[in-house]
A and B are shown apart, each in its own frame.
Chain A
């Protein structure tokens, strides 16, 4: 196996998240809740050459087919992302990420005085008011996040 294979090698079963904006792969991993406790094999490729966008990031999660509600949140930072479900080296399903109408938990409200930034037993919740570029609005305090959404991801 040479270096090239190591970087772009196919996976047998699992999920490949492709067309992530270059430099955003680690945020994607964070949104997916992938941390040191995960047992699946995860490969992260950053700044990979891309015909469409010059460079892109790719995340591959082996032996795990991610559900759409898990991956849709990725559209927060990768609106052009695609999700490929792989079985026995074949792409059996290919979908674009689709930002849901409401985003729970993933984003922190920028308003320090918002009730969602307290010890109350609630999760942060934002209404998606625009998909690309992503614009969000806190359902509690009505404050908007109109740019740099990735800076507000928990």
Chain B
């Protein structure tokens, strides 16, 4: 895959080889440190929805590579409040920065932005659609912890309907030789178009509403938050909130080397008593986000791997 100067909008654009190029490069950075100096380059963080991890990890990644970061992190303080279109905003910011990182509540926002600017656009979450850099972080975490992705039994659990991290993650996972268990309340099942897409790939897909009967077979349990902000009707949220609780009792029945992941923030789906267990991997997963974003910035802005 070509990365230099490219956008990262959707995991649909990634081949299996492309995924491994990013993971391998991230591992090289982890072991040997950065390969390029991005001093003199400016990354614009455009966050039109709240973010802690994604925004700060991009900022950290760019600074560790020697670059500078400018940010919009409040719609109220920007021209959006004055009615400016996103298309205008990104064309203005392109004049200040060498690359744009965009989080926006509307689905397809990053795709649209990329059509209006020449500089690279990285999708940091567009509504409930996709979050590809979180997915690369997740894949890197699985690969580091297990040494492989093929052959694993992977359960993705929680809000599969609105969860953008889930939508992005199941696309590449389905390209591997894995058993992929999709666990959700019936109201929050994965959308049919995504299910149809991934069914065409290599993975064996299984749907379920319960984790208890599966926990003994799972290598990776990827839990997600049921996101109150995606529900138009608060009553509908109340019906499904708290559907899953991961605690020591549940994990007693798990494989000894189970890895428990979560894109964070969590609400009540993982009991804090689990944090001390070897299975708990979500804080390392979060830290891996910086390494992956350093790898992407080196490849996209620094042209590493394309020479």
Q: Please determine whether A142 and B193 come into contact, CB atoms closer than 8 angstroms.
A: yes
B193 and A115 contact, CB distance less than 8 A: no
Q: Given known contacts A140-B107, A141-B108, is B85 in contact with A119 (CB within 8 Å)?
A: yes
Annotate A34-55 by CB proximity to B: 1 below 8 A, 0 otherwise. 0000000000000000000000
Assess whether A139 is interfacial by the CB under 8 Å rule. Answer: yes
Closest chain B residue to A116, Cβ basis: B108
Give the Cβ gap from A127 to chain B, nearest Cβ, in Å.
11
| Partner of B193 from A113, A139, A144 at Cβ < 8 Å | A144
A113, A121, A137, A144: residue with the most chain B Cβ atoms closer than 10 Å: A113
Bound-state CA distance A116–B127 (Å) is 13
Instruction: Tell which of A114, A120, A146 touches B87, judged by Cβ atoms closer than 8 Å.
Output: A120
> What is the chain B residue whose CB lies nearest that of A144?
B193
> How many A residues touch B, CB cutoff 8 Å?
19
Q: Is the CB of B111 within 8 A of A139?
A: yes
* Cβ B87 vs Cβ A142 within 8 A: no
Residues of chain A with a CB closer than 8 A to B107's CB: 111, 113-115, 140-143
Report B103-117 CB contacts with A as 1/0, cut-off 8 Å: 011111101100100
Decide if A74 is an interface residue (CB 8 Å cutoff). Answer: no
- Type the 1/0 row for A115-127, where 1 means its CB is closer than 8 Å to any CB of B: 1101111100000
Within 8 Å CB of B54, what residues of A?
none
A113 close to B127 (CB less than 8 A): yes
B127 and A141 within 8 A (CB): yes
A149–B129 Cα distance when bound, in Å, is 22
> Is residue A138 within 8 Å, beta carbon to beta carbon, of the partner chain?
yes
Residues B108 and A115 in contact, CB atoms below 8 Å apart? yes
- Whether A115 pairs with B109 at a CB distance below 8 angstroms is yes
Of B12, B108, B115, which contacts A114 at CB under 8 A?
B108
B85 pairs with A120, CB closer than 8 A: yes
CB-CB under 8 A from B240, the residues of chain A are none
Q: Tell whether, in the assembled complex, residue A140 and residue B87 are in contact, meaning their CB atoms are under 8 Å apart.
A: no
Nearest Cβ in chain A — how far from B249, in angstroms?
38
B-side contacts of A138, CB under 8 Å:
108
Tell me whether B108 and A140 are in contact (CB under 8 A): yes
Instruction: Fill in one digit per residue for B196-223: 1 if any A CB lies within 8 Å of its CB, else 0.
Output: 0000000000000000000000000000
Bound-state Cα–Cα, A113 to B17, Å: 32
> CB distance B193 to A141 under 8 Å?
no
Residue-wise interface mask of B (227-253) relative to A, using a CB-CB cutoff of 8 A (1 in contact, 0 not): 000000000000000000000000000
Report whether B129 and A122 are in contact in the complex, using a CB–CB cutoff of 8 Å: no
B85 with A113: CB separation less than 8 A: no
* Residues of chain A contacted by B127 (CB below 8 angstroms): 113, 141
Instruction: Let me know if B112 and A140 touch, CB within 8 A.
Output: yes
Bound: A142/B87 CA distance, A: 19
| Chain B residues within an 8 Å CB radius of A120 | 85-87, 112
Contact check, B193 vs A143: say whether CB atoms are below 8 A apart: yes
Which residues of A lie under 8 Å from residue B130 when comparing CB positions?
A: 142
Question: Which one of B108, B112, B115, B128 has the highest number of Cβ atoms from chain A below 10 Å of its Cβ?
Answer: B108
Interface contact B112-A142, CB-CB below 8 Å: no
- Bound Cα distance from A143 to B87, whole angstroms: 21
Residues in A whose Cβ lies below 8 Å from that of B128: 113
- Measured CB to CB, the nearest residue on chain A to B127 is A113
A140 touches B111 (CB 8 A): yes
Contact, CB under 8 Å: B111 / A115 = yes
23 contacts between A and B (CB under 8 A): A111-B107, A113-B105, A113-B107, A113-B127, A113-B128, A115-B86, A115-B108, A116-B112, A118-B106, A119-B85, A120-B87, A122-B112, A122-B115, A137-B193, A141-B107, A141-B108, A141-B126, A141-B127, A142-B10, A142-B130, A143-B107, A144-B192, A144-B193
Q: With A111-B107, A142-B129 given, name 16 new contacts (CB 8 A).
A: A113-B127, A113-B128, A114-B107, A115-B112, A116-B108, A120-B86, A120-B87, A139-B108, A139-B111, A140-B107, A140-B108, A141-B108, A141-B129, A142-B130, A143-B107, A144-B192
